[in-house]
Structure 1
Amino acid sequence: MTPTSLPGPVGAGAPRRRLRIGIGGMAIESSEFCPHRSSYEDFRVTRGADLLARYTWTRPDDGLAPLVEWVPLVHAVALPGGPVVRETFERIRDELVTRVRDAAPLDGLVYDIHGAMSVVGLTDAEAELTAAVREAAGPDTLISAAMDLHGNVSHDFARHLDLLTAHRLAPHEDAWETRERAARKLVERLATGAGRPHRAWVQVPVLLPGEKTSTRLEPAKSLYGSLADVEARDGICDAAIWVGYAWADEPRCRAAVVVTGDDADLALEQAGALARRYWEARHDFTFVGPTGQADECIAAAVASTARPFLISDSGDNPTAGGAGDLAYMLSRLLADDDLAAGRVTALHPGIHDPAALAACFAAGTGAEVTLKVGGHVSAGSGVHAEPCELAGEVVSLQTLGGVRAAAVRHGGVTAVLTERRTPFHTRADFGELDPLGYDLVVVKIGYLEPELYDMAADWLLALTPGGVDQDLLRLGHHHVARPLYPFDDEGFEDPGTVPVLL
């Protein structure tokens, strides 16, 4: 008997034993163009009951409970940022591997990762992590990976997995649904004795930012919308497309397709069809919203009657891997006459600067301060990393989700400074500051998350500089495998979209 098959009854009416399925992983999205370095303190690490509580399908009242004994291992997740320092990666990897080995034998493992982790000194961090997990789990344990569609899927990484799937929506409104799909499909295969499926894998030589591949728009909308139909075919278990992660500079960075199923020929056929469709649509991907340079976006927002008018400071988006400390957009807001004079108001939250934040708390609400804002992490990293002078009144001091934040107003511009890299995606993230009370709201983000999208009377995506610059050609990739669109649009006599079985 192997761990992948349920034991038969030992007597009339005897129950089958419950499957033992581990849960663990390490998840972060890492921009190699960001000067930030992700350390152990950046990760939220959960174990035991806290880890099981992350998911709804591990609850005792879920339908899987009679079938599965969930074994919590360790899970570490961090806000996107710069590459992970080697010591942090090895510390988390070693704990995960040790816990997998100590929990053996496991029938299965739900592997909750991202897919775009970069580690200082490694070229394919997820492949190294997954190889170690596979060795610890043994060849008979089925591993089912739940991933972000912005992950990278190299052959060396994917060959260690038995099932792998990704989000089908960007923005990722289905992130938890993806994890549940990975878990339930794993249980289904184990409980029925279906075992290890065939996996048809292929990469596509296209690398685009998430802001050009949102499933709100074509062609991504139809491409991802077709996956459920592929999955519904007899002989197919799952179908997934990854757009890749554009702000890492590694050979694995590109789009990928994986179709899993019991019918190997059908899996190959469907994977090839999806890869060809993606390749043929490469010129059709466009930004999820209207774009412009920073000053163009500010001028258009000031002149508009739509309120609030949202602007994405896309190049320094911390939830894509940006440092979150660039004051470039703040300097451009202060340079606008209407905003500086207070004839138009703007709220610009999320500039990471612990020193400036501390000065505001020391001064107190109502105090006048003169600060050098920004560049705390990015100093010396290149153009636009210099701090911006901000003189004004401290109008708010608050703690948001455990992170201290201070708001300073100069003329019509209110800048929110934070002690840690902090996203502002929901109304609650703003705390006592009401974004609906301002003419403009400038947020460090790419495409707008659902609450921001619903809040915006109108919006623009500013093509600003930073570690997640939307203009990939000016970032300076040197290690991606070429030819690769959009870096090249020639030399593709054979784009190599023929899948293989892993």
Structure 2
Amino acid sequence: MTDRKLRIAIAGIAIESSTFCLHRTTLEEFHVVRGKELLDRYDFLRRPDVPEHAWARDVEWVPLVHAAAMPGGPVLPDAYDTLEAETLERLGAAGPLDGVFLDIHGAMTVQGRRDAEARLTREVRAVVGPDVLLSASMDLHGNVSRELATAVDLITCYRMAPHEDAWESRARAARNLVSRLRAGGRPKKAWVQVPVLLPGERTSTRVDPAKSIYARVPQVEAQAGVLDAAVWVGYVWADEPRNRAAVVVSGDDEETLLAGARELARSYWDARADFGLAAPSAPLAECVRAALASPQRPFYISDSGDNPTAGGAGDASYALRELLADGDLAASGATVIYASIADADSARAAAAAGVGATVSLSVGGKIDTASAPPAELTGTVTAVVPDDPRGGVLAVVAAGAISVIITERRRPFHDEVDFTRLGLDPRHGADLVVVKIGYLQPELFEMSAGWMLALTPGGVDQDLLRLGHHDLDGPVYPFQPLMDPPALEPELIP
């Protein structure tokens, strides 16, 4: 046990990478922070006087480097190597450390490589040595291989999807690290993978069975001898042996850890066939018919196969082409917002033409060339934002009653202000709002009167069997629905 001032470094590389997406993530797409900007990411460091942050005060937090990119395709090797090299160089120069807090996602794929997070943690361990404790915070859509679980001393993840507890989970990972450094001793981990791999849209914690499974996690954690408990859904849109659900329960009482991990793993496996999509789903055309027939306004439709915040390219044109060609939709008089499609050339061309100009553009289908060819769009430019921090040039082109948002860079539309700054009113000013997303983020969910999830093609296709997984290392549900029941016996990792 120690009461001296601790020294804890902070670092991480975070992205969710679909191996089925034709986009490739470059170094320029990572937002990289260091120094005070890195420390300011965390509420427990930015607001030290808040009573619940008392645990973080008597610690020297050593910011190294943190790099995060929006989900997309695999990371180019030179991009990853550059970020890893800086992390390790800064770590080596940081001086004596008691711990390292790793803020990662857990579903990064580097092109041509496997298990990127296990590699990163092994390299960190090689620099700091065996006595420094490592604590990792992860997204619940990350993957926990045995190699990763072995390389870290503590590991946890979010307990909510949508991820309303993301920052709370990061704080828990850091707080657990401080607590263990104060108490002394290396915790044990009961680790087990569950051969189930499902998309987030089927495992939302808003509804059962995930709601009940995740409600049990803090109850397991509250038992004597347990420091933390976590359940990972895994990341379905990458084809690696590590990708599947996992459970880790950390602490000191071996029997309690094993029993808690066994219980959580079994509950997940037993519920495998009960996980349903978070909203009614159908092919896009059926969703549009249902929306037009419904009195609910606004009615939201998720263009789920090209969700950029799950790893889609953001430029798949399938849904836009279908909407523009839908005669019944045009005849209905319904107003539609389409958010959005990434196409740098088209966004710049619309902006250059200016508000009020008529433009004819071939939009999208230039990265995701597999889903559909570009959409031919002719309409009037109604809004331009020249310098959006995330999307670069943004333009709205109205083709009849369909307002199409075109972005220079891949960008999500999750909040009302994303629309209103373009002169669009998704709450009162549209009948249908079609968004490249899976389950609706909280503000969109609150705004929607009706909602369906369209089963559209793309790099994060909900039709898992047509994606073509071939490297999952053994039977995994639902790819092998009639597989033999697994043993689900946790392994104790010291």
TM over 0.5: yes
* Maintained 8 Å contact 2:32/2:67: yes
Structure 2: gaps spanning 5 or more residues: none
1:141 pairs, out of 132, 149, 153, with: 132
Q: CA deviation at 1:418?
A: 0.1
Corresponding residue for 1:13?
none
Question: Whole-Å Cα distance in 2 between the matches of residues 137 and 200 of structure 1?
Answer: 24
Corresponding residue for 2:378?
391
Question: Whole-Å Cα distance in 2 between the matches of residues 50 and 71 of structure 1?
Answer: 12
Corresponding residue for 2:203?
213
Deviations 1:460-500, CA, capped at 9 Å, x for gaps: 000100000011100001111221100102231x4131000
1:45 pairs, out of 32, 39, 45, with: 32
Q: CA deviation at 1:57?
A: 1.1
Within 5 Å, which residues of 2 pair with 1:22-101? 22-59=9-46, 60-61=48-49, 62-101=53-92
Q: CA deviation at 1:342?
A: 6.7
Question: Whole-Å Cα distance in 2 between the matches of residues 385 and 20 of structure 1?
Answer: 53
Within 5 Å, which residues of 2 pair with 1:323-338? 323-338=313-328
1:301 aligns to what SS in structure 2? helix
Question: Whole-Å Cα distance in 2 between the matches of residues 112 and 121 of structure 1?
Answer: 23
Question: Whole-Å Cα distance in 2 between the matches of residues 491 and 169 of structure 1?
Answer: 29
Corresponding residue for 1:248?
238
Within 5 Å, which residues of 2 pair with 1:431-442? 431=421, 432-436=423-427, 437-442=429-434
Corresponding residue for 1:180?
171
* Maintained 8 Å contact 1:339/1:411: no
2:204 aligns to what SS in structure 1? coil
If the length of structure 2 is used for normalisation, what is the TM-score?
A: 0.96
Question: Whole-Å Cα distance in 1 between the matches of residues 36 and 66 of structure 2?
Answer: 12
Partner AA of 1:459 in structure 2: W
Quote the sequence identity (%).
57
1:427 pairs, out of 381, 391, 416, with: 416
2:402 pairs, out of 408, 413, 418, with: 413
Q: CA deviation at 1:65?
A: 4.8
Q: CA deviation at 1:378?
A: 1.7
Question: Whole-Å Cα distance in 1 between the matches of residues 21 and 29 of structure 2?
Answer: 15
Corresponding residue for 2:145?
154
Question: Whole-Å Cα distance in 2 between the matches of residues 131 and 223 of structure 1?
Answer: 31
Corresponding residue for 1:450?
442
Question: Whole-Å Cα distance in 1 between the matches of residues 361 and 136 of structure 2?
Answer: 46
Q: CA deviation at 1:336?
A: 2.0
Structure 1: gaps spanning 5 or more residues: 7-15
* Maintained 8 Å contact 1:397/1:406: yes
Q: CA deviation at 1:66?
A: 4.0
Partner AA of 1:213 in structure 2: T
Partner AA of 1:21 in structure 2: I
Q: CA deviation at 1:341?
A: 4.5
Q: CA deviation at 1:501?
A: 1.1
Corresponding residue for 1:464?
456
Within 5 Å, which residues of 2 pair with 1:302-321? 302-321=292-311
If the length of structure 1 is used for normalisation, what is the TM-score?
A: 0.94
Deviations 1:152-175, CA, capped at 9 Å, x for gaps: 100011101111000000000000
Question: Whole-Å Cα distance in 2 between the matches of residues 64 and 45 of structure 1?
Answer: 27
Question: Whole-Å Cα distance in 1 between the matches of residues 71 and 42 of structure 2?
Answer: 21
* Maintained 8 Å contact 1:243/1:255: yes
1:347 aligns to what SS in structure 2? strand
* Maintained 8 Å contact 2:348/2:393: no
Deviations 1:273-316, CA, capped at 9 Å, x for gaps: 11111111111100011001010001111221111100000000
* 1:293 equivalent in alignment to 2:280: no
Deviations 1:360-406, CA, capped at 9 Å, x for gaps: 01211111111111112123xx2x23101111111111143352211
Question: Whole-Å Cα distance in 2 between the matches of residues 339 and 271 of structure 1?
Answer: 51
Q: CA deviation at 1:248?
A: 0.2
Question: Whole-Å Cα distance in 2 between the matches of residues 226 and 283 of structure 1?
Answer: 19
Question: Whole-Å Cα distance in 2 between the matches of residues 103 and 225 of structure 1?
Answer: 39
RMSD over equivalenced CA pairs, Å: 1.2
Question: Whole-Å Cα distance in 2 between the matches of residues 50 and 242 of structure 1?
Answer: 29
Partner AA of 1:420 in structure 2: R
* Maintained 8 Å contact 1:339/1:412: no
* Maintained 8 Å contact 2:303/2:453: yes
Question: Whole-Å Cα distance in 1 between the matches of residues 361 and 332 of structure 2?
Answer: 19
Q: CA deviation at 1:37?
A: 0.4
* 1:474 equivalent in alignment to 2:461: no
Question: Whole-Å Cα distance in 1 between the matches of residues 358 and 329 of structure 2?
Answer: 19
Deviations 1:319-365, CA, capped at 9 Å, x for gaps: 00000001111111112224334711100012000111111012111
Deviations 1:198-248, CA, capped at 9 Å, x for gaps: 100000010000100000111100100101110100000110000100000
Question: Whole-Å Cα distance in 2 between the matches of residues 490 and 390 of structure 1?
Answer: 46
Partner AA of 2:393 in structure 1: R
Question: Whole-Å Cα distance in 2 between the matches of residues 280 and 108 of structure 1?
Answer: 37
Question: Whole-Å Cα distance in 2 between the matches of residues 470 and 196 of structure 1?
Answer: 41
Q: CA deviation at 1:429?
A: 1.4
Corresponding residue for 1:12?
none
* Maintained 8 Å contact 1:311/1:462: yes
Point out the more displaced range, 364-373 or 60-69: 60-69
Aligned CA distance change for structure 1 residues 496 and 97 (closer, same or farther; 3 Å):
farther
Partner AA of 1:301 in structure 2: A
* Divergent runs of 4+, >4 A: none
Q: CA deviation at 1:17?
A: 3.0
Question: Whole-Å Cα distance in 1 between the matches of residues 345 and 85 of structure 2?
Answer: 35
* Maintained 8 Å contact 2:198/2:233: yes
Corresponding residue for 2:478?
486
2:4 pairs, out of 4, 8, 17, with: 17
* Maintained 8 Å contact 2:363/2:376: yes
Question: Whole-Å Cα distance in 1 between the matches of residues 473 and 335 of structure 2?
Answer: 46
